[in-house]
Amino acid sequence: MHQLGGFFFSYLVGSAGYLLFDRLKIPTPALLGSMFACGLINITGHYPEFPVWAVSFTSNALIGIMLGRLISRDVFRQILGLSRPVLSLSAGMIALSLASGFALYGLSDLDIHTSLISGAAGGIAEMIIYGISVDADASVIAFMQTFRVVTFLMLIPCFAKIAGKIGDRKDHARPVSSGKSGLPLFERGNYAALVFVSLVGAVAGKMLDIPTGALIGAMAASGAYATAIGKSYRYDTRIRCFAQITLGMVTGERLTPEAVSALGNLLMPALAVTGVMIAGSALFAFLLYKYTGLDLVTCLLCAAPAGISQISVYAEEIGADTFTASVFHTARIISIVTFYPLVTMLF
């Protein structure tokens, strides 16, 4: 009962942080706001006890189910239609993530796993989950990932303006149709089965000691189930907020005065690593432009290491090909979440 009360108190604190960050228009406000608010409580020494493992597992499984929605026959057909550039860019982003991680490792006192995860061009939540699973410094990962995303979101309009002047903005033929898949949505009973198979997958991933096993297990199981029955599913945005707030609670529990003081020494390494990521992404965008029929602005968004939703918004605002950009980013997120942990475990 004591730990249950601690959970609800921490969740209220995390929710307050979410509302504050959302009002300030900070990216991923539920995750970062919760982490910030719960971290402040932890630093003061008044952080309540709650079942961290259970909360972490739940948030992992929920985020895995949300990612599993990206997996479908239609997505695989889209990726096959753009197979060479999509797979090449995904491999290139993994290599660029490793290069950024090693650069951070050389420029700071961080351990190798924290450095490699901090430099990955993956999602903020997914990389924090992976960091926690290998006992890396989650606060550093959150700082580095947020720094990169915010920097890119600030620079994308400038890059797009330059790219629009340099590139040919003619309407090129798209390699794949941008129409909707037309898959029927889940019925009520399908959602119950989805939760069951996802939990089985999450438990299996955890028992097999796979990096981010609960997330990957839930993602694979939910995606496989939706693909098998030929349907797609939706989730309430409040579920996403809940998953991110609880993940922020777990991350905030790791924030200590020592960890916060160490972040001040990471500004210069963060600038250097972000510079490496910008240069690499610009190179990939130019290569896509040269070897595909896509315009330069779309190529720039395809190679930008930011979130799918954020890139989609920018694509619509600046008139780029939203569909193609989302295909590239879907492949990037799936490949980094699935394969990058296995690669980094070699070091």
pLDDT in tens, 112-122: 999 999 999 88
pLDDT in tens, 181-239: 567 889 988 999 999 999 999 999 889 877 678 888 898 899 999 999 989 898 888 99
CATH number (domain holding residue 223) = 1.20.1530
pLDDT in tens, 140-183: 898 888 888 777 866 776 777 776 666 544 444 344 433 345 67
Scanning the chain, the segments in alpha helix (DSSP H) are: 2-23, 29-43, 52-68, 73-81, 83-107, 112-118, 124-133, 138-166, 188-207, 213-229, 237-252, 257-263, 267-291, 296-302, 308-318, 322-344
> What b/e string do you get for 262-289 counting C-beta neighbours within 10 Å, with b at 16 or more?
bbeebeebbebbbebbbebbbebbbbbb
pLDDT for residue 322 is more than 70: no
Structural domain range at position 146 = 2-344
pTM: 0.69
Q: Closest Cα partner for 97 from 114, 118, 82?
A: 118
Q: What pLDDT score was predicted for residue 98?
A: 95
Q: What is the mean pLDDT of the chain?
A: 83
Q: How far is CA 282 from the centre of its chain?
A: 20
Q: What pLDDT score was predicted for residue 195?
A: 95
Q: What pLDDT score was predicted for residue 11?
A: 95
pLDDT in tens, 244-271: 899 889 888 777 776 667 667 888 998 9
- Segment 89-115 shows an average pLDDT of 93
Q: What pLDDT score was predicted for residue 171?
A: 43
Rounded Cα distance, 260 and 173, in Å: 50
Q: What percent of the chain stands above pLDDT 70?
A: 86
| Angle (deg, nearest 10), helices 2-23 and 237-252 | 110
Rounded Cα distance, 85 and 293, in Å: 11
Greater model confidence, 95 or 334:
95
| Angle (deg, nearest 10), helices 52-68 and 124-133 | 140
Q: Closest Cα partner for 86 from 269, 324, 310?
A: 324
Q: What pLDDT score was predicted for residue 236?
A: 87
Q: What pLDDT score was predicted for residue 176?
A: 40
Greater model confidence, 264 or 283:
283
Rounded Cα distance, 331 and 313, in Å: 18
Instruction: Specify the number of domains making up the chain.
Output: 1
pLDDT in tens, 5-25: 889 999 999 999 999 999 998
Q: What pLDDT score was predicted for residue 310?
A: 60
- Segment 298-308 shows an average pLDDT of 81
